[in-house]
């Protein structure tokens, strides 16, 4: 059964409810504790900070992005290989039979070393591309991390909201059940009418329908929670405040976002990569030079035991004269891509600015809605109490009481939604300015340091195993 926390029970309604059961129980200790942003919670309750930590460690989308960044790291040693010599060994053996001599087995060994000297600056710029791609990949990882943490915070608060609304719906059914009993009692002593009984029964039926809808919403929230956080929810505790980490003005928020938002930084690095690609394409029009050293040993077919050794060192220079227009086309193509990246940077700035302004407005609206919702709940509670007393003396009808109860229920649901929206909007604003990460939130986790893997593989010349032993 769903246990109704004391905060969610109307003062004039019983706290028990036997009309509904759901798949799990005890999901939320008290929504008031969650929204108190730091008040006491049950000993075993999972706080929002703990849920965020679990998502940071276990979310498969985030872990996949970390693996993608490690793969990107390998682009740097691959680019650096262009500065290094390549060594090739070859061997051959054959058989030779002639009328004038014995059967021989000609063969040989050959060792070739090639050292690039000048590649039209393509190797140098290729290394810069690979290094910048790593920086871009880190920003992509930051962006995914921010999105996952925002999804985790939203999933946590959605689940709290769904449970709270279900509790309110259940309390409404309890109240309506009491109204049905009271209407039947008044009818039995001749003080009520069958219309009063029918009205209360219709209201209770509608309330039960709302409970079923709330159960569906709760189960959907549970599924999302499990998907994002990585485990099934049990009892939820309090939410860590983040509004103190937010900038004080909208202009300050926009400035912070322009400097720290991962989407903007990613677009900047992509612009740098495009600029280096132009230089690489232009390098194909420049000459190249390299040294080739060869050592060889051959056993020839002139007779048994005859062989020869040789060594050579060759400086080669290659000058492109005509490529059929391919190289020139690639330069123009790279320049158009560079123009595209500049436009994408502007688009990223505009999108980030819009996200900051939107989140800022949502947070302001949620704060105002909480004030209005609290005032409405207080007023509707007084209305319900007054209408109930007036019905006792015949000045109000049962329908008036039911309408007043529904108005109070709607007000309390609105109060819950406003409190939920305030918490989510604060996290959304923190994400929009590029500050929603494990370090900023001080999550109790072992933080992923992308520089550890990069440092281990950057200057490797050989080895097939990854740094973690795979």
**Angle (deg, nearest 10), helices 250-260 and 262-283:** 40
Residue with the bigger pLDDT between 449 and 188: it is 449
The whole-number pLDDT of residue 224 equals 92
The whole-number pLDDT of residue 44 equals 58
Once rounded to an integer, what is the mean pLDDT over residues 297-306? Answer: 71
Pull the structure tokens for residue 79. Answer: 């680019």
Q: In the predicted model, is pLDDT for residue 36 greater than 60?
A: no
Q: In the predicted model, is pLDDT for residue 196 greater than 60?
A: yes
Write the CB contacts of 108 (distance below 8 Å, at least 6 apart in sequence).
Answer: 91, 92, 296, 297, 298, 299
Averaged confidence pLDDT in the chain: 84
What is the band of 301 on the pLDDT scale with cuts at 50, 70, 90? Answer: low
For 366-418, write each residue's pLDDT tens digit.
999 999 999 989 898 898 888 888 877 777 777 777 778 888 888 888 889 89
The whole-number pLDDT of residue 33 equals 39
The whole-number pLDDT of residue 461 equals 86
Each residue of 401-417: b (16+ CB within 10 Å) or e?
A: bbbbbbbbbebbbbbbb
The whole-number pLDDT of residue 305 equals 63
pTM: 0.81
Q: In the predicted model, is pLDDT for residue 15 greater than 50?
A: no
Lowest mean pLDDT among 33-42, 50-59, 124-133, 245-254: 33-42
Q: In the predicted model, is pLDDT for residue 302 greater than 50?
A: yes
Once rounded to an integer, what is the mean pLDDT over residues 163-189? Answer: 82
The domain 6-438+449-457 is placed in CATH, from the list 1.20.1600.10, 3.40.50.1860, 1.20.120.530, 3.40.50.720, at: 1.20.1600.10
Nearest to 221 by CA among 160, 266, 171, 279: 160
Once rounded to an integer, what is the mean pLDDT over residues 169-188? Answer: 80
The whole-number pLDDT of residue 303 equals 58
**Is residue 91 classed as helix, strand or coil in its secondary structure?**
strand
The whole-number pLDDT of residue 313 equals 92
The whole-number pLDDT of residue 1 equals 30
In order of 289, 339, 407, the CA distances from 326 in angstroms are 21, 20, 74
What is the band of 72 on the pLDDT scale with cuts at 50, 70, 90? Answer: very high
The whole-number pLDDT of residue 380 equals 85
What is the band of 332 on the pLDDT scale with cuts at 50, 70, 90? Answer: very high
Identify each DSSP E strand in 300-440 by its residue range. 307-318
Q: In the predicted model, is pLDDT for residue 114 greater than 90?
A: yes
């Amino acid at each position: 059964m769903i246990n109704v926390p004391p905060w969610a029970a109307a003062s004039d309604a019983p706290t028990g409810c036997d009309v509904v059961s759901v798949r799990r129980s005890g999901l939320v200790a008290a929504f008031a504790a969650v929204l108190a942003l730091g008040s006491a919670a049950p000993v075993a309750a999972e706080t929002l900070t703990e849920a965020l930590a679990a998502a940071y460690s276990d979310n498969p989308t985030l872990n996949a992005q970390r693996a993608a960044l490690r793969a990107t790291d390998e682009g740097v040693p691959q680019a650096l290989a262009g500065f290094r010599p390549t060594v090739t060994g070859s061997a051959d053996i054959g058989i030779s039979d002639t009328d004038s001599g014995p059967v021989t087995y000609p063969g040989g060994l050959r060792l070739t070393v090639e050292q690039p000297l000048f590649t039209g600056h393509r190797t140098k710029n290729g290394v810069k591309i690979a290094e910048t791609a790593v920086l871009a990949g880190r920003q992509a990882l930051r962006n995914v991390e921010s999105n996952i943490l925002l999804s985790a915070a939203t999933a946590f608060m959605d689940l709290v909201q769904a449970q709270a609304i279900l509790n309110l719906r259940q309390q409404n059914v309890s109240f309506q059940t009491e109204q049905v009993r009271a209407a039947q009692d008044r009818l039995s002593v001749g003080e009520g009418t069958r219309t009063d009984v029918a009205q209360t029964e219709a209201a209770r039926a509608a309330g039960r329908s709302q409970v079923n809808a709330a159960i569906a919403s709760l189960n959907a929230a549970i599924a999302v929670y499990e998907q994002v956080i990585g485990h099934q929810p049990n009892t939820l505790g309090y939410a860590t405040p983040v509004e103190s980490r937010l900038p004080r003005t909208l202009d300050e928020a926009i400035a912070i976002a322009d400097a720290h938002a991962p989407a903007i930084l990613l677009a900047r690095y992509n612009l740098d990569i495009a600029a280096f690609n132009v230089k690489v394409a232009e390098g194909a029009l420049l000459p190249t030079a390299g040294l080739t050293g060869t050592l060889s040993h051959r056993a020839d077919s002139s007779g048994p035991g005859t062989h020869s050794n040789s060594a050579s060192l060759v400086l080669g220079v290659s000058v492109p004269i005509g490529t059929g227009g391919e190289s020139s086309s690639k330069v123009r193509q790279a320049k158009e891509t560079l123009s595209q990246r500049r436009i994408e940077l502007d688009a990223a700035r505009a999108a980030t600015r819009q996200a900051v302004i939107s989140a800022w407005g949502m947070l302001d609206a949620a704060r105002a809605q909480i004030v209005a919702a609290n005032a409405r709940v207080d007023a509707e509670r007084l209305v319900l109490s007054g209408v109930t007393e007036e019905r006792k003396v015949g000045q109000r009808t049962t329908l008036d009481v039911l309408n007043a109860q529904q108005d109070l229920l709607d007000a309390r649901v609105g109060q819950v939604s406003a409190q939920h929206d305030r918490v989510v909007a604060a996290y959304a604003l923190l994400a929009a300015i590029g500050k929603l990460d494990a370090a900023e939130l001080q999550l109790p986790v072992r933080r992923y340091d992308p520089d550890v893997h990069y440092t281990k593989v950057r200057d490797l010349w050989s080895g097939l195993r990854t740094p973690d032993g795979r």
